[in-house]
Structure 1
Amino acid sequence: MTKKDDDQVNRLERARSIGLARYMLIREAADQTLTGRQRGALVRALAGTPHTDPDGRTVWLTRWTLDRWIGEWRRGGFDALIPSTRQSQPRTPPEVFELATALKKENPSRSAAQVRRILSAQHGWAPDERTLQRMFVRTGLTALRSPVEPAVFGRFEADRPNEMWTGDALHGPRIEGRKTYLFAFVDDHSRAVVGHRWGFAEDTVRLAAALRPALAARGVPNYVYVDNGSAFVDSWLLRACAKLGIKLVHSQPGRPQGRGKIERFFRTVNGEFTVEIASGDGEPGRQVTSLAEMNRLFTAWVEGVYHRRTHSETGMAPLARWMAGAPFPVPAPADLAEAFRWSEHRVVTKTALVSLHGNRYQVDPLLAGRRVELVFDPFDLTFLQVRSEGHDAGTALPFQINRHSHPKARPEVPAEEPKPTTGIDYLALIDHAHSSELADKVNYSALGWEMPTPTVDLTTE
């Protein structure tokens, strides 16, 4: 893939991140059950507070912009919020940006507004203040800003079941010498455990194994509140929530307000469940020999003990309080499967081929030279759906398959058969050859001379 193709893919990925940020911002205000007055109040509140864009900048949005995004989302769904990736030529001469950069470096305390005043006084014209600020952010010249004070949740509780789920991961005992992790989601209103899964890794695949059955059985929440762990900020989770109409909310780093309920649940898990699991030979507790057994025992404890016991704060059993709001609509199997597929973008070659993690696929020749979205099951890379500009463009036919699953889709149980080895130590061979070559050269040390040191001009590297 050429540098131009890489730039196109990067622009498309950035556009998708902007679309996701817009969706997460307007999701609540776009709820069709709201009255015009309620929606107006929410939009005014959004327009009256600062927000952080995908580049980390603090921005203010107008009511007109928010209303336009809501209208686009209603007409075209999530794809309508993704901005165009076409780039226009910059209208500001590069020498003006160079002078602005020099002025900022000369005095880092100068704001973009002040730099604009100096440029205007010098040349009689200057770029917009926002243009200069974006340039300073892009080049790393932005002065340090005081952190934005995060929202405080206090003793918040959702008004009804499935209004908000809180998710997190717990480090558990070792099974067969391997550490285990529990992904769990707790309904904020009822404290019911809506989804859970023990696994051998704290990654996106194990997170999906806990969340997908929860959505299929318990319905779709309005919000999912998680931390900033690598599994919770992966693009697949953003895509899944956007497809199902869920607003994904991340807690501020170092400020975990609102996460007390699931942390309290994890303390209960450690005090009542994992304490009964033997973590090594000779230790008291049940010897668990497989993940299947671990998940079976945990499900029995959740459904038979935790869900049936009166909660100290709500005064009701978690399952009974959750069922008080039933029934809850569940997503159609096809919609759920689509939401949990992964996607990546590629540029189709002139021979109508696309590459994905070492595999090559044949697509429609009419797509040659275009950027396409490849949608797939991470455990089966032999079948890919192709989409162009948000529309279905058929399937990709396998042309050369070197791997059948995504690199992140690691199985729970690795292959027991060791990989065949040739017994050849390549590094030892080249080390021996290098040593032999040095032995044949003149020994400058023995002659009392210093080995000449080659001079490298770093400015040409």
Structure 2
Amino acid sequence: MPASEPDPATVTGRPGAAWIGDAFTGFDLAGRSWALAVFIDERSRMVLGYRWDTRERPFLLAAALRAAITAYGLPECICVDHSMGAGTVKEAASRLGVTILTRAPTHLAPRSMTERWAAGMCRLFRHEITTSGHPAGASMDPVELNRRFGAWLEKVYHRQVQPDTGTTALQRWRAGTPPRSAPAPAVLSAAFTHHCNRSVSSAATIRLLGTSYNVDAGLVGQTIDASVDVSDPSVVPVRLGGRPMGLAVPVPSVTMPYAP
């Protein structure tokens, strides 16, 4: 279990101690509108984890946090607002012993920080895309956009001197407190796995994370257990009475109200 919540003033101000998570929509890049979920180190402004997708989805924020932990280890605490999927992120972080800040840093509200960062980042990254040979207005899939964004962060953004600090994000990060090591893959996977019971409809579907999933037709009318990775719910193992019953697979383009 995580420790009792510290005073935000005692952890913010130390690079590597506090991460802020947020999700945004409406970024116009590569010929279409995009959504972005991101975790940023509060003091150094290093972008630690991120996920782009064609629309806001309940798992994007969890995917960004898992990517950040895998790459950089465990922070002392995180602060997230009420973005879609924030509840599952807090649950996963709590399982890993990460403190959840419910009070914003007194000197800087998380939303104001990430909004300013997102606006500036989008402008810079759009310029990067349009000057790197990508045809104006041409579409790009999420895998390619995430790959390009990661390369741009590493080679450009994290190494730029920021006018208000006179240093780069990478320099400030390296001068901070090293995070705890990332947990073993099995521990990390368990932290991001959500178990829930679902009744199978007459159409052999269940609802998870705002999406309809197909299951085996033989399960119609049964209540099954679904084990969903909240950071990547593309394929979901299901069980009936403890016995494996195959996989639940998302029905394309069917989105429903979020059900955790």
User: TM-score, normalised on structure 1?
Assistant: 0.42
State the shift of 1:308 in Å.
0.6
Aligned residues: 227
Listed one character per residue, the Cα deviations across residues 250-277 of structure 1 (whole Å, up to 9, x for unaligned) are: 578xxx8343332221122122112555
Answer yes or no: is 1:27 the counterpart of 2:1: no
Contact 1:276–1:285 (8 Å) recurs in 2: no
2:77 equivalent among 223, 238, 252: 223
1:214 equivalent among 58, 68, 73: 68
Listed one character per residue, the Cα deviations across residues 351-375 of structure 1 (whole Å, up to 9, x for unaligned) are: xxxx975758xxxxxxxxxxx9864
Map of 1:202 onto structure 2: 56
State the shift of 1:170 in Å.
2.8
Answer yes or no: is 1:189 the counterpart of 2:43: yes
Contact 2:15–2:176 (8 Å) recurs in 1: yes
Contact 2:39–2:48 (8 Å) recurs in 1: yes
Map of 1:291 onto structure 2: 142
Contact 1:227–1:251 (8 Å) recurs in 2: no
Higher RCO (CA 8 Å, separation ≥ 6 residues): 2
Map of 1:301 onto structure 2: 152
Aligned partners of 1:296, 1:381: CA distance in 2, in Å? 25
Answer yes or no: is 1:162 the counterpart of 2:16: yes
2:248 equivalent among 404, 408, 417: 404
Aligned partners of 1:323, 1:215: CA distance in 2, in Å? 16
State the shift of 1:157 in Å.
7.8
Aligned partners of 1:239, 1:305: CA distance in 2, in Å? 33
Aligned partners of 1:336, 1:326: CA distance in 2, in Å? 22
For residues 158 and 340 of structure 1, do their structure 2 counterparts lie closer, same or farther at Cα, with a shift above 3 Å needed? same
Partner of 2:160, secondary structure, is coil
For residues 228 and 167 of structure 1, do their structure 2 counterparts lie closer, same or farther at Cα, with a shift above 3 Å needed? same
Aligned partners of 1:203, 1:259: CA distance in 2, in Å? 19
Structure 1 runs of 4+ aligned residues shifted over 4 Å read: 275-278, 355-360
Answer yes or no: is 1:267 the counterpart of 2:119: yes
| Structure 1 unaligned regions, length at least 5 | 1-22, 30-41, 43-152, 279-283, 348-354, 361-371, 387-394, 416-461
Partner of 2:242, secondary structure, is strand
1:240 equivalent among 92, 101, 107: 92
Aligned partners of 2:124, 2:11: CA distance in 1, in Å? 25
Aligned partners of 1:163, 1:373: CA distance in 2, in Å? 37
State the shift of 1:288 in Å.
4.4
Contact 1:173–1:277 (8 Å) recurs in 2: no
Written as runs of structure 1 = structure 2, the 5 A alignment for 1:445-456 is: none
Map of 2:236 onto structure 1: 381
Aligned partners of 1:258, 1:382: CA distance in 2, in Å? 36
Contact 1:276–1:286 (8 Å) recurs in 2: no
Partner of 1:287, secondary structure, is coil
Contact 2:19–2:40 (8 Å) recurs in 1: yes
1:338 equivalent among 190, 211, 214: 190
Partner of 2:37, secondary structure, is strand
Contact 1:226–1:251 (8 Å) recurs in 2: no
State the shift of 1:305 in Å.
1.3
Partner of 1:404, secondary structure, is strand
Written as runs of structure 1 = structure 2, the 5 A alignment for 1:38-49 is: none
Partner of 1:321, secondary structure, is helix
Partner of 1:307, secondary structure, is helix
Partner of 2:118, secondary structure, is helix
Q: Which amino acid aligns with 1:238?
A: K
For residues 327 and 221 of structure 1, do their structure 2 counterparts lie closer, same or farther at Cα, with a shift above 3 Å needed? closer
Q: Which amino acid aligns with 1:297?
A: R
Q: Which amino acid aligns with 1:219?
A: G
Q: Which amino acid aligns with 1:190?
A: S
For residues 290 and 341 of structure 1, do their structure 2 counterparts lie closer, same or farther at Cα, with a shift above 3 Å needed? same
State the shift of 1:161 in Å.
2.3
Listed one character per residue, the Cα deviations across residues 363-419 of structure 1 (whole Å, up to 9, x for unaligned) are: xxxxxxxxx9864443333355x9xxxxxxxx83235x6x623x6xx77xx69xxxx
State the shift of 1:238 in Å.
2.7
| Structure 2 unaligned regions, length at least 5 | 200-204, 208-213, 217-223, 255-260
Q: Which amino acid aligns with 1:237?
A: V
Structure with the bigger percentage of strand: 2
